């Protein structure tokens, strides 16, 4: 479709016509998952319970009453899943390692059988010509560490560095990139303050303490990764999004600034500038975290990359987040706003002189997909992915150093507090038979990558 007046393609038409050749040479395209969301096999080969096993067992925590105990049974079906990944034609696969498989007691002895699984995955990917990208912490903390306060306990940061060293020592340079943490906002604020994720407490001071210890864990783990895997890239993954004011009323502008401080700058500034944002520090008052001398120097460790997970923007009024009139939303109720990805990239580039190269480590959408015979028609997901890739390309062409893009997710999986009710996959999963079926969006991605 073209605009007949000017003959320039509309953004949607330009997006639909995109192929990987429009992106810079070497740009990495992949798909992503995480351990608890797909593996299952919760009690096998020495894995101990994680905080998510505990959380899912508490009535009312998960909307469909489910858990990740079986999930996509990927722990047993990994070979066929790797074949599927290879068939998509992606360059890379981002997965996470379950800490309770590798160090079941949280701290102390390493369980070789746990590492064996991730070594099989790593070698299986390499054998298929797919780069392995590892995330060390995608929220499945060993439950025994939660008994000692979880991330509110400073010792957890040291335990994380030891566990990270064990993984990097085994997988070494075979892994293309190691990300220490996935989305520390979620594993602190959403988990300890909002209470929607494990461990489900509601305490702002606890959340800020957890966030600080997560960042400290990143700072402590980075040198361990570099020591054991000097040729791999090492960095961190944040969930970020523009937090825009709902109007130009001063109270809305103030609320948007505060939201930006809590959501974006609270993590970006310590990592990239070595300081917490002064305005937000003042906003949180007595709930500010216990920072010890030297912590910020550790946290400001150089990263080879910054992973960014982008799903939506926030539109913020004095009363909280609002949905702009006429907004289209995904099945999560999140506004679909590709321009936010361009805006976010440009803002990071402008505000952080030390910004490392960026990978979009997650982007995608849930829709209520239904199977019709052997097909799953999900045109809205294809449109979501292509318009966001187009938005990313705009930022790349404007000079932001963006090196790759991972679609969330390879396949439908356990979507945390929503259980199996939200489908983010490019591949459909029938949870009764564990059958996998490429959705139309997967066929589109395959064609885009050809």
Q: Which of 111, 382 has the CB closer to ligand FCB?
A: 382
Minimum distance, C-beta of residue 417 to ligand FCB, in the bound complex (Å): 10
CB-based contact 291:345 (threshold 8 Å): no
Of 14 and 94, CB closest to ligand FCB: 94
Strand, helix or coil at 172?
A: helix
Integer Cα distance of 229 and 170 in angstroms: 9
Residue 437 beta carbon to ligand FCB: minimum distance, rounded to whole angstroms: 20
Count of residues for the chain? Answer: 450
With beta carbons less than 8 A apart as the criterion, state whether 298 and 227 touch. Answer: no
Q: Between residues 382 and 394, which has the closer beta carbon with respect to ligand FCB?
A: 382
- Asked if residue 394 has a cis previous peptide bond (ω within 30° of 0), the answer is no
193 is catalytic: no
Catalytic residue among 193, 224, 362, 383: 362
In the complex, what is the shortest distance from the CB of residue 36 to ligand FCB, in angstroms, rounded to a whole number?
9
- Residue 416 known to bind ligand: yes
Q: Is 138 annotated as contributing to ligand binding?
A: yes
Six-digit token string for 186:
């979620």
Beta-carbon contacts of residue 293 (< 8 Å; ≥ 6 apart): none
Q: Which is nearer to ligand FCB, 232 or 309 (CB)?
A: 309
With DSSP H G I counted as helix, E B as strand and the rest as coil, what are the percentages for the chain, rounded to 5?
A: 45, 15, 40
Q: Do β-strands 375-376 and 371-372 pair in parallel, antiparallel, or remain unpaired?
A: antiparallel
Beta bridge partners of 134: 95, 178
What H or E segment, with its residue span, contains residue 440?
helix 440-449
Q: Rounded to the nearest whole angstrom, what is the least distance from the CB of residue 355 to ligand FCB in the complex? A: 21
Pick the catalytic residue: 39, 183, 244, 335?
183
Pairing of strands 320-321, 314-317: antiparallel
Q: Does the annotation list 196 as a binding residue?
A: no
Shortest approach of ligand FCB to residue 263 CB, angstroms? 12
Is residue 37 part of an annotated ligand binding site?
yes
Q: What would you measure as the largest C-alpha separation in the chain, in angstroms?
A: 69
Q: Which is nearer to ligand FCB, 23 or 414 (CB)?
A: 414
CB 373 → ligand FCB: shortest distance, Å? 27
| Sites of contact with ligand FCB (CB under 6 A) | 34, 37, 182-183, 186, 239, 309, 362, 408, 415-416, 424
Q: Is 72 helix (H, G, I), strand (E, B) or coil?
A: coil
CB atoms within 10 A of CB 25: 6
Q: Is 408 annotated to bind ligand?
A: yes
- The alpha carbon of 315 is separated from its chain's Cα centroid by a whole number of angstroms, namely 21
**What span, in angstroms and rounded, lies between the C-alpha atoms of 269 and 68?**
34
Residue 224 falls in the annotated catalytic set = no
**DSSP characters for 195-255?**
-SSTT----HHHHHHHHHHHHHHHHHHHHHHHHH-TTSEEEEEEE---EEESSSSHHHHHH
Q: Shortest CA distance to 408 belongs to which of 371, 443, 441?
A: 441
DSSP string, 263-322: IIIHHHHHHHHSS--HHHHHHHGGG---PPTTHHHHHT---SEEEEE----EEEETTEE-
| Closest distance to ligand FCB from the beta carbon of 85 (Å) | 17
Least CB distance to ligand FCB at residue 217 (A)? 17
Q: Which is nearer to ligand FCB, 94 or 101 (CB)?
A: 94
Binding residues for substrate, by number, are: 37, 138, 182, 311, 408, 415-416
Binding residues, by number, are: 37, 138, 182, 311, 408, 415-416
Active site residues: 183, 362
């Amino acid at each position: 479709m073209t605009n007949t007046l000017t003959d320039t393609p509309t953004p949607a038409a330009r997006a639909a016509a995109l192929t990987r050749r429009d992106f810079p040479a070497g740009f990495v395209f992949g798909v992503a998952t995480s351990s608890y969301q797909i593996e299952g096999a919760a009690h096998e080969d020495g894995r101990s319970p994680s905080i998510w096993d505990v959380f899912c067992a508490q009535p009312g925590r998960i909307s469909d009453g489910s858990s990740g105990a079986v999930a996509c049974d990927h722990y047993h079906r990994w070979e066929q899943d790797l074949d599927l990944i290879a068939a998509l034609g992606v360059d890379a696969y981002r997965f996470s390692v379950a800490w309770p498989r590798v160090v079941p007691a949280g701290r102390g002895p390493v369980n070789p059988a746990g590492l064996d699984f991730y070594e099989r995955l790593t070698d299986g990917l390499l054998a298929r010509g797919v780069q392995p990208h590892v995330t060390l912490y995608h929220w499945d903390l060993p439950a025994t560490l939660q008994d000692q306060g979880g991330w509110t306990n400073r010792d957890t940061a040291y335990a994380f560095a030891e566990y990270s060293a064990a993984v990097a020592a085994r997988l070494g340079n075979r892994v293309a990139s190691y990300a220490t943490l996935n989305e520390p906002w979620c594993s602190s604020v959403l988990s300890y303050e909002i209470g929607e994720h494990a461990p489900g407490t509601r305490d702002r001071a606890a959340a800020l303490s957890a966030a600080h210890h997560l960042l400290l864990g990143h700072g402590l783990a980075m040198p361990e990764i570099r020591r054991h895997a000097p040729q791999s890239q090492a960095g961190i993954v944040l969930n970020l999004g523009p937090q825009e004011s709902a109007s130009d009323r001063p109270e809305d502008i103030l609320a948007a600034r505060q939201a930006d401080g809590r959501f974006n700058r609270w993590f970006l500034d310590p990592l990239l500038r070595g300081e917490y944002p002064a305005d937000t520090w003042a906003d949180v008052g007595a709930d500010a975290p216990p920072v010890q001398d030297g912590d910020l120097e550790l946290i400001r460790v150089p990263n080879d990359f910054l992973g960014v997970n982008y799903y939506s923007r926030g539109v913020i009024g004095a009363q909280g987040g609002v949905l702009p009139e006429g907004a289209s939303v995904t099945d999560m109720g999140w506004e679909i706003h590709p321009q936010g990805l361009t805006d976010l990239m440009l803002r990071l580039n402008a505000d952080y002189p030390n910004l490392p190269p960026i990978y979009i480590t997650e982007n995608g959408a849930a829709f209520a997909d239904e199977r019709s015979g052997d097909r799953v028609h999900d045109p809205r997901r294809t449109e979501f992915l292509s318009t966001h890739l187009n938005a990313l390309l705009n930022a790349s062409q404007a000079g932001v150093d963006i090196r790759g893009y991972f679609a969330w997710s390879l396949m439908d999986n356990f979507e945390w507090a929503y259980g199996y009710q939200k489908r983010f996959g490019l591949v459909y999963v029938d949870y009764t038979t564990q059958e996998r079926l490429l959705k139309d969006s997967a066929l589109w991605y395959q064609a885009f990558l050809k």
